[in-house]
Amino acid sequence: MARKMLKDGEVAVATDGGGEESYDYDLFVIGAGSGGVRGSRTSAGFGAKVAICELPFHPISSEWLGGHGGTCVIRGCVPKKILVYGASFRGEFEDAKQFGWEINGDINYNWKKLLENKTQEIVRLNGIYKRILGNSGVTMIEGAGSIVDAHTVEVTQQDGSKQRHTAKHILIATGSRAQLVNIPGKELAITSDEALSLEELPKRAVILGGGYIAVEFASIWRGLGAEVDLFYRKELPLRGFDDEMRTIVASNLEGRGIRLHPGANLTELSKTADGIKVVTDKGDELIADVVLFATGRAPNSNRLNLEAVGVEVDQVGAIKVDEYSRTSVPNIWAVGDVTNRINLTPVALMEATCFSKTVFGGQPIKPDYKDVPCAVFCIPPLSVVGLSEQEALEEAKNDILVYTSSFNPMKNSISKRQEKSVMKLVVDAETDKVLGAAMCGPDAAEIMQGLAVALKAGATKATFDSTVGIHPSAAEEFVTMRTLTRRVSPASKPKTNL
């Protein structure tokens, strides 16, 4: 197959000028997570000779342990969602009684069984990623990659031996890693890596953080029967999401029995005979079996030797790239969490696909970050696409129309669970264009994926209104919201520090 690789100086997004040289590979990829695997196999599909290096497999990552599939598959989205499924059954068993199911006696739970099945699944997926690469003709090399110069990667194996490989282009896709907060006793805390592989299910859990990971693990552990205390610095969890939806999530977490501690932080951890003593900045003390730090992740860029070759990084270590994912060194590129743009697996896939098309497909294309949907898999989940009400007001030239629907799902009307589903549309008053959509309730992510297509296609509120709903379903609420909740002017936008 003829290669369609961009020639030096051919277009603005191609590599810098210079004569053709001979290299071992057209492309060498460092990191076989979602972005690295996608970039490798799509580039190979365009005829490029590709190699990729990745660390040996292990569920808990380190400087020398990783695995094909990366964070999402091995210690992120996939195992997390498996645990969410497991935790959701607690509510299902409670709700089932009102539907006629007579559940007598205790319902026993086997954490080790779930852990074993979760591990089997990620091992299976790790093998699938390897097969995908192999079937695409990509050469796989095990070890830690670092950059020697603009066209050379050195791979260090576990025994200390080193190999050097040259390539016309280098793609960095090393992802990010969870961090521990620097307080006394931090070594007693765990990150999401360890939380997904605990030998014993905690009975008492303390979580520090208010983002995706924090609220998801709060839901998981509470769903599996643990007492959970969630600490975060703001007034509400999930900073960056729509404030109204954040309020709903907080209410649901409390409704499920999770103790929330807004505006609070942890200052010290210490080991006691009864567990880990947790001290807060309010002077409170708790005892926990597990303390999870879920306060953010840092780009995996430290060991790549980037400074030596002139690849620029920002203050947190994220690799700086242009609109085409090219670094400050013209033939070195980077995608995914290591660039700290939108840190979602599907976004890394998009960036990697655009990279391959640009460099090897002769189709220069920039990643499009508009209307990227996402979901928080708390119980029940939150999912959004487009602008929040606050973001819409920040960007608005016109008034904003807000439509909301809060209702008791049909299932809850029988089970008597006091937990409403909430939906929201944010609309430009002049153009009628739907700027954002949000939902907190069962199946939110499944519903929002469909709405993301509508927003991407430029749907208006009239489009939603003219669409026939599916009855009975929660999703039909999005096409039956006729009554305006409020009209907000950019000039009167509320100030918030939530």
Cα 366 versus chain centre, distance: 21
What values do phi and psi take at 108, rounded to 5?
Answer: -80, 145
Distance CA(399)–CA(387), nearest Å, equals 14
CA 268-273-278 angle, 5° bins: 20
Q: Cα 462 from chain centroid? A: 32
Of residues 50, 83, 169, the one with CA closest to residue 377: 83
Q: How far is CA 193 from CA 73, 86, 126, 217, in A?
A: 12, 18, 16, 12
What is the spatial distance between Cα 140 and Cα 166, in angstroms, rounded to a whole number? Answer: 15
CA distance 77 to 344: 9
Residue whose C-alpha is closest to residue 40's, from 136, 149, 151: 136
| Separation CA 248–CA 240 (nearest Å) | 14
End-to-end CA distance of the chain: 55
- Residue 315: is it exposed, middle or buried by C-beta count within 10 angstroms (0-12/13-18/19+)? exposed
How buried is residue 271: exposed, middle or buried, by Cβ count under 10 Å (0-12/13-18/19+)?
A: exposed
Q: What residues are annotated to the active site?
A: 471
Q: How far apart are CA 204 and CA 227, in angstroms?
A: 5
